[in-house]
Every structure is written in C-alpha cells, then in structure tokens.
Structure 1
Amino acid sequence: MNQDISTELKIHLVPRSSRDQLVNCTGDQLKIKITAPPVEGRANQALIAFLAKQLGIAKTKVELVAGATSKQKKIRIHGLTLNQIHDRLKQ
C-alpha cells in the first residue's frame, strides 16, 4: 500500500438505516446507509468505521474532509487508488 496516494470520494450518507450497507458505487460517488443516528457525530464515526472495515484498512486512513453536518460528504482514503477502492468494495 503506497502511503503517498490518497483518493477522495463523494458520499451520500443515509443515517438511521435498518443496517450498515453500501447501496451504490459509481465512479467516485458512493451511497451508504448507516444505522447510527446523525447525533454528536455518531453517523460520521460509523461511516468511517464501515469504510475502514470494508476496505480492510485502519480507521486512521479514512478522513472526513467535508460535510460533517450534511448527508453529502467528502471522504479521503489514504493509501489506496480509486481502482483499488472499487476492487475491495466489490468483494
């Protein structure tokens, strides 16, 4: 994993869902449903944990860049290219 690489993704987050799941993945845009409520940053924390688990990387490699209080978020993934991210999410 190359530490100098970072990839930004646009996320549409749906909080208070029945389960954590990736709904759609198109280019650099993802739609993700999370069970956590959008209260005190819990949905953001759950999103970071979900992406880290799905990608097989540490939570510290997933950074919320923009959209802390919005459903539209920008996430930076450190150490993976867009193609690597897509490959890991498809597994």
Structure 2
Amino acid sequence: MSGLPFKPDDGGGLLFIRVTPKSARGQIAGLHTGADGKLSLQVKVRAQPEKGKANEAAIELLAEALGLPKRSFAIAAGATDRLKTVRIAGDPVTIRQKLNDIIQDQSS
C-alpha cells in the first residue's frame, strides 16, 4: 500500500476519515482521495448526521475493525464535517498494520 490516511505519534496517531451517513449498511469502504489529493478512509454508517450519531457509529465501526475499545477513539477535528480527524490511542505500529490489513481486505 503506497499510503495510509494515518499519521502516527508517540501515543497512537491521527486517522483521517470521510464519513457517509445514512448508508444502506455500516462498513469501511476503502480509501478515498479527495479533490485536493488528500487521502482518507471511507467509513459508511447507517446513522443520521444529527446530534453526533454518525460520529458515534463511525467510532464504533472503527473500534470493532481495529480491535480497540471505543474509549481509544476521539474526534479531534471535523465533528460536524464529512471529513474528520480521529485521534486513536494505542501502539502506532499495531494500528498502522491493522489499517493496512483492513484496506488490503477491501481491495481483494
């Protein structure tokens, strides 16, 4: 994989996601490249984009996919936008590997 929408740091890292609410089913749908060239992880959720429900659903989906507790995730930027930055607490090497695995599964 040439690039991941993940910026590691000492305590985990920042994951850049693009959330699509009101989707037919909740899923991680691979990578998305925006018009500006920025890479993000496409996350589709069934929840409505109101009162943080779509954010909660996105965090639940990410937590399950990465095998981490929901408390390890926090919206760092973009709480009301489609494009969000999520802070993930944990081992950055493990997080990067799990993200790589998820994206590889999507492309096969």
TM-score w.r.t. structure 2 length? Answer: 0.71
Q: Could you say which structure has the larger radius of gyration?
A: 2
Report 1:44-59 matches (<5 A). Answer: 44-59=55-70
Q: What amino acid is aligned across from residue 74 of structure 2 in structure 1?
A: E
Measure, in 2, the Cα distance between the counterparts of 1:85 and 1:63. Answer: 18
Gaps of 5+ in 1: none
User: Are 1:33 and 2:44 matched, yes or no?
Assistant: yes
Identity of aligned residues (%): 34
Q: For 1:50, what is the secondary structure of its paired residue?
A: helix
Q: How many residues are aligned here?
A: 88
Q: For 1:29, what is the secondary structure of its paired residue?
A: strand
Gaps of 5+ in 2: 1-9, 33-38
Residues 57 and 88 of structure 1: CA distance in aligned 2, closer, same or farther (over 3 Å) = farther
What is the alpha-carbon root mean square deviation over aligned residues? 2.1
Q: What amino acid is aligned across from residue 67 of structure 1 in structure 2?
A: G
Q: Which stretches of structure 1, 4 residues or longer, exceed 3 Å deviation after superposition? A: none
TM-score w.r.t. structure 1 length? Answer: 0.83
Q: For 2:62, what is the secondary structure of its paired residue?
A: helix
In the TM superposition, what whole-angstrom CA distance separates every residue of 1:13-43 from its partner, at most 9, and x where no partner exists?
Answer: 00000001111137x6201110000011100
Residue 9 of structure 1 corresponds to: 15
In the TM superposition, what whole-angstrom CA distance separates every residue of 1:38-61 from its partner, at most 9, and x where no partner exists?
Answer: 011100010111100111110000
